[in-house]
Every structure is written in C-alpha cells, then in structure tokens.
Amino acid sequence: MVMMRGLLSTVSRVKLELARSIMSATTSVPSMAEFLTKRPYSPPSWSSHLRPIPSHTFSLAHLPTPIHRWNLPGLPNGTELWIKRDDYTGMELSGNKVRKLEFLMAEAVEQHADTVITIGGIQSNHCRATATASNYLNLSSHLILRTSKLLADDDPGLVGNLLVERLVGANVHLISKEEYSSIGSEALTNALKEKLEKEGKKPYVIPVGGSNSLGTWGYIEAAREIEEQLKSRPDGLKFDDIVVACGSGGTIAGISLGSWLGALKAKVHAFSVCDDPDYFYDFVQGLLDGLHAGVNSRDIVNIHNAKGKGYAMNTSEELKFVKEVASSTGVILDPVYSGKAVYGLINEMTKNPKNWEGRKILFIHTGGLLGLYDKVDQMASLMGNWCRMDVSESVPRKDGVGKMF
C-alpha cells in the first residue's frame, strides 16, 4: 500500500522514539476512595457561560489519559503526530463513552432512576460501557441493539461487546435495521421506557452514543485535561490540529467547543464513520444550541467523510491498515471508529501533504478494542506469523522437568 510504504522497516526507530516521548499525567489518578464517587462539578472558567451547567459527575474513568508521540511512517515533512489514549480510560469502561457517562449517570442517580435504557448497534461500545456503569451503580440496564433482519430473532451470541454486556446482566432487546430505520432511536427508547414504567420501574434514557448536550460536557472536560497536560511540559508543546473519529456527534461537539473556547485553539478534524458531514454539522449545531454556546458548528470543526462501505463495515485495505499500524507502532486501532479515522487522515495527508507539513497533530484514540473480535474472520488471512516450534533431537528430554501450572 503506497501510503504505508516503509512501514515495517521502521519498527525499531518508531518504538524507540515512542518510549522516549511518553507524556506523564499532570493530575493524580483518582484513589480507590474516589472511584465511583459522585462529586460536585465545577466547569472550566472559559465554559462558565454555557447553560445548563451540570451539578455533579460520577468518577467512572481513569483520568487523565496519557499523551505520547506516535511515529506513523509516511507522514508529510516536519509533521508531528501525537496520540491521546482514551482507550485507556478503563477496561470494560474503556473508550470515549465513559467521559460522557460520568455526567449522564450522575443525572440518572439524581433523578432516582433504578433502570437505564440506551440504544446502539449490535457491537456498540457505548451500550457496553453503559451496561457496566449501570451495574457499578446498582441500576439495571436495558439495551436496544440494532442487527440484521435475519439475526433479530436469534440469540445474539457472545462476541466482543456482547459478551461483556451479557456478563454484567444487561437486558438485551434486538431490533432489525429496517425497524430501526422506520421507527427511529428516540421512539424506540421511549416505547421501552413506557413499558418499564408500567412495570413500576423508574427508567432514565440515554441517547445513541450518549450524545446529547449533557454528554457533550465529557469532552469539554477533556479539552481542559489536555490543556493541563500541555502546561506541565517544559518544551511549550502546542497542537495545531486535533483529529478524532465521529460516530454519534457528542465527542466532536465537546472537544471542538472546548478547543474553541479554551486555550488549545487547535483546528479540530472529525472523520465521520456513518452518515455524512452535513448531517453531523447539523447534529452538532443542535448540541451547541442546547448549551447556548452561541457558535456555529462549521466554524469550530471540519468534518470529513470516512464511512467507506458503511457503519461497522470494512474494506480489506482498512483492515490491512489496522494490522500494519499495530505491527509497526504497537497501537491497536478499532475497525469501526479510530481505524477508519486514521485511515482517512493518512489518505488526506497523502493527497494533500502540503496542508499538513510542519503541523503538530493530536489524534484522540476513542477505544473500541472489543470491536476487533467481530472482525476475526475478515482479518484471519492477515495473521501469518506463527509456526510449530521445531525442537532438535539433540535437546535433552526428561519427563517431569517442565512444570505445567
């Protein structure tokens, strides 16, 4: 592949530079006593004019997440690429969704909910994180998961995110893509809410991806976190661009607004993995208006189309790219979000290198590692590095020497 020429030949250099460029966190990791604690929320000073301001958060994520240099081969001349590891926000709670859930789950508890409802694709990272967070807080969870018409009446299995969801006891409701398209996510969650209310439950509904105006605060807060990390550096590092995948809109709304209002002032590029840029410009505008931000979405973010074959669908070239990046840098991208975003970014750089030369770019890894398990069959042909170990007859053998614990 042209854009990844020389990828494997630079493995040693890449890993050495990566080790030397790890950026340490600037604020202490929450103690055991602070984890799963509801805390009063104080917004960044530059966002204090937004309304409404959340009253509390629940500490669910392991923050701050590290930032380090990411030496992907084939970058334009003088371009520096860095990566923020929001895939490190936790294990079963890993990814960008948990930042939104810190605000959303606090509101659910404030409203005395006993049940949480949300909705997404069959391998939704958001639904997995919501089910886990609900369980932590002693709330039951109901997940409406979109799948193909042929599979909507069958057991969904235990692959990837589904395994975690079902382990923690989530109630899974399957819906076909056709039904989802004709009814819509809002009507579906409201229908389930009404049903559960009739059963005496007190449900709290979280939209697709946790992407509403309240959830947007998760990445407004992330912008403050990045600011604090940069302030701690002696070299005065400043990013010209921030790049992130876009699947439901809340993450890009928060990070774009935070960069615009705060000290970062970086140009935000979002690579949409579903729908088209115009849809997301309008959706993000709705979230901004819901916060009375007084800004135009098209002024604070550039949205690029990276959906390829469609949501959660990959070409062989995209999957090969994910494999080559992992082999050369150790960073594992998920195939649905970050993988498509970085693939799109490298393609943009290949087409228009002058636009990126000399720039310092921060890529936000939004997690989703469990989504790889749904691509095992497609990726099997890319994995050839194994063999049966050949042990010479000259090697001494004695029964009982090798202990198998």
CA distance 257 to 297: 9
Check if 272 is active-site: no
CA distance 217 to 180: 28
**Rounded alpha-carbon distances, angstroms, from residue 324 to 75, 194, 232:** 15, 48, 33
Strand order in the sheet with 171-176: 171-176, 140-147, 115-121, 203-205
Backbone angles phi and psi of 369, in degrees to 5 = -55, -35
- Distance separating the N- and C-terminal Cα atoms of the chain: 44
Please name the residues in contact with 396: beta carbons below 8 A apart, sequence gap of 6 or more: none
CA distance 63 to 52: 24
DSSP single-letter state for residue 321: H
Residue 246 bridge partners (DSSP): 272
CA distance 97 to 126: 6
Residue 109 bridge partners (DSSP): none
CA distance 220 to 216: 7
Tokens matching residue 231 = 């302030």
CA distance 20 to 18: 5
CA pseudo-torsion sign 103, 105, 106, 111: positive
How long a stretch of residues is the chain? 405
Other CB atoms within 10 Å distance of the CB of residue 345 = 23
Catalytic residue among 47, 94, 124, 259: 124
CA distance 297 to 319: 31
CA distance 337 to 271: 9
Assign 221 to helix, strand or coil: helix
CA distance 342 to 337: 9
Is the Cβ–Cβ distance between 208 and 246 less than 8 Å? Answer: no
Q: Which positions are annotated as active-site residues?
A: 124
